[in-house]
Amino acid sequence: MAEHKRLSRDDVEFRKARAEDRPSIERIAAKTWDGEDYLPEVFDGWLQDEAGLFSVMTLQNEVVALSKLSQISPTEWWLEGLRVDAKYRGRGLARIMHHYTVAQARQIADGVLRFSTADENAAVLHLAQESGFHEVARFARYYLHTLAPSLLGEWHQLTAADLSDVQAWLQQSVYFETVQQSLEERWKWYMMTASVLHERLESGQVHVWQPAAGQWGGLAVLNAPHKAGRVTIAYGDALPTYRLSFWQAISDLMQPFTVEEVHVKIVNLPEFTTPLKQAGWEKDEDFQAVLLSRDVVLTKESPVQYEQLPALD
């Protein structure tokens, strides 16, 4: 039927999002994630973001898709908020919106461009592949509800004075390299640069676990709480021989807080997930996230070269 024909780049127009687009965007969000989309709560902040780019796609003056390009640091950028109006899904608009935003990144950004998606989102993973992104890692989510003291080792809150020691410990970590030197907060992965670590240290969010006096066995970086009674671990890592004890000892770290639940997103490989299972953490079977990355400017080492990027007509 004609109304279901695929659309091309020539059928649509792009512009920056405006305040008057809120009703249209909220309508699109209402049909995403069973109405639990976060877009309404970030809409105003995205409009005010002068460093990034909040774009909408219009079809005959109707907002039918949107996306956001966000600057995390001068050399680190993040794609988020790719949405298509439910009544236009399956007609090629997500692909056009994605490629448009990546092309915009080439105009205003530098360094690394990244985003995350659910592993079941085959269409978006295909878009990532054809536009030069590579898969960094797949993450599972684990919860801890039983917070009985383990009495294993000791936790110490670190300060900004410990920055060089934290950096040295991370540099010898296989897990640190596996996650592209990143921590996670609310589906977004941030590279743990010196400035990010310094900020977290000053906020009292970095804790070292010592299995014996003076010995660093593991490191936990916490996120600021978003919900009462819930703590999210932005980065959890331990020496291989101490991984089980480390994840058991998280209960001790939580004792000063009023906590009902702790959760972490961790690379979904047995060497990292098995210790959590053995320590009593429960896996969210309905969740797996994929972190994707590419250089803003494609290089000879990129999986896709510019001449291989597909036409959008």
- Give pLDDT tens digits for 198-223: 999 999 999 999 999 999 999 999 99
pLDDT confidence of residue 303: 72
Burial code of 247-269, b = ≥16 C-beta within 10 A, e = fewer? Answer: bbbbbbbbeeeebeebbbbbbbe
What distance in Å separates the CA atoms of residue 135 and residue 137, rounded to the nearest whole number? 6
Taking only Cα atoms into account, the Rg of the chain, rounded to an integer number of angstroms, comes to 21
**Residue 311: which pLDDT band, with cuts at 50, 70 and 90?**
low
- Mean pLDDT confidence for 121-140: 94
User: How many Cβ atoms from other residues are within 10 Å of residue 33's Cβ?
Assistant: 10
Beta bridge partners of 286: none
What three-state secondary structure class fits 274? helix
What distance in Å separates the CA atoms of residue 167 and residue 206, rounded to the nearest whole number? 12
Q: Phi and psi (nearest 5°) for 290?
A: -120, 130
pLDDT confidence of residue 59: 96
Residue 95 near residue 82, CB atoms below 8 Å: no
Q: Phi and psi (nearest 5°) for 272?
A: -100, -35
User: How many Cβ atoms from other residues are within 10 Å of residue 42's Cβ?
Assistant: 16
Q: Which CATH class is domain 2-110?
A: alpha beta
Q: Is the pLDDT of residue 2 over 50?
A: no
- How do 282-283 and 134-144 pair as beta strands? antiparallel
- Give pLDDT tens digits for 268-297: 999 999 999 999 999 999 889 999 999 998
Structure tokens at 93: 């608009």
Decide if 2-110 and 141-290 have a common fold.
yes
What distance in Å separates the CA atoms of residue 60 and residue 66, rounded to the nearest whole number? 15
pLDDT confidence of residue 258: 84
Residue 169 near residue 216, CB atoms below 8 Å: yes
**Residue 259: which pLDDT band, with cuts at 50, 70 and 90?**
confident
- Give pLDDT tens digits for 4-54: 788 999 999 999 999 999 999 999 999 888 888 899 999 999 999 999 999
pLDDT confidence of residue 113: 97
Q: Is the pLDDT of residue 146 over 90?
A: no
**Residue 298: which pLDDT band, with cuts at 50, 70 and 90?**
confident
**Residue 307: which pLDDT band, with cuts at 50, 70 and 90?**
low
- Give pLDDT tens digits for 51-101: 999 999 999 999 999 999 999 999 999 999 999 999 999 999 999 999 999
Mean pLDDT, the chain, rounded, equals: 93
Half-sphere exposure of 309 (CA within 13 A, CB side): 17
Of 106, 96, 98, give the one whose Cα is nearest residue 81: 98
At 78, which helix (H) or strand (E)? strand 76-84
What distance in Å separates the CA atoms of residue 115 and residue 290, rounded to the nearest whole number? 8
**Residue 171: which pLDDT band, with cuts at 50, 70 and 90?**
very high
- How do 112-118 and 76-84 pair as beta strands? parallel
What distance in Å separates the CA atoms of residue 20 and residue 12, rounded to the nearest whole number? 19
The domain ranges of the chain are 2-110, 141-290
pLDDT confidence of residue 1: 39
What three-state secondary structure class fits 215? coil
Residue 229 near residue 259, CB atoms below 8 Å: yes
Percentage of residues in the chain having pLDDT higher than 90: 82
Residue 67 near residue 84, CB atoms below 8 Å: no
**Residue 229: which pLDDT band, with cuts at 50, 70 and 90?**
confident
Return the CATH number of the domain spanning residue range 141-290: 3.40.630.30
pLDDT confidence of residue 226: 77
